[in-house]
Structure 1
């Protein structure tokens, strides 16, 4: 069974954290739980928020104040927090630093046939989507490649050993390359907008995001 990340927003009212007033309710529930977006569990983009090298790390476990939270009430009184705590995490909204998402560049790694590796140059350029499409790569493949792994150093394929590796390899042999993309681009513009749009429900310090891995 596939597990995915679901994100919920809560706002602080009179000292209590609750789903924002006026938040739309799913037709399958009796009350809104604040869910505003989700990520595939196997998505590399999830590493923005989860794992030892997360850039905007969610805190494992439930937040301290959740007595009136519709999200936690929906889990029911028999929910085993000790056993399933790892599936819940949260982050104060200011810690997401959403104002930087269009400017902050990530170095991303993917593997591609050596015949196309030179298109990535010094590894500090945007993903060469049009050049790869011209070489016959379909949009599905290009989308998968752009969901690269976050790394700390670019791979320069313009000279030296790294250049020789791709020139001497058979065209189909896979080679590691890097490119850069903004956080918004990497996460996806629609999903990034979903995080930014939470500000309609309150000031940054009055918002928090809870994730459920289920």
Structure 2
């Protein structure tokens, strides 16, 4: 039964809707939709409204869902878990159709950027005078400012990673967490910030 799956015990299913908490109400509304056995779902930023436990249940449900799901989300971990096709909003009315999940798309961008850089380097080398082409090229090193940024990022990433691990341990402990919604929102924010800082750290590390 779908309500059991979304953590409503038989006793809970006898409660009046007006007595449900905010989190229970969101789970109830979600289960009420899914119990109709739809074959097409549209989810707008679902990770903003659901606690970690409910989100895990929804991910499992969607992985086994036989219909079509359109999801709008900034949560790359959620997207990696359930999607196999992306419509990427690139701005100025441009939408890119990409087969794969979010990580696949990020890897594609890195490969594309590397290929473009290689083509640019080849073009510049072909256009340079022969004396310049024969000259030994020195790799660019970190500037003083970049070195300071790199060191700061290393410390920030360590702190964010520890905070993320602490939150995950709290969620997995099974203990009652009074401010679960606030903690879940912070967890999602930490993941996004960590992803951005790790990407910049990797860029700088290539100059190391």
TM range (shorter): under 0.3
- Give the structure with the larger helix fraction: 2
Please give the TM-score of this superposition, normalised by the length of structure 2.
0.20
Greater relative contact order (Cα 8 A, min sep 6): structure 1 or 2? 1
- Give the structure with the larger strand fraction: 1
Q: Which has the larger Rg?
A: 2
Please give the TM-score of this superposition, normalised by the length of structure 1.
0.20
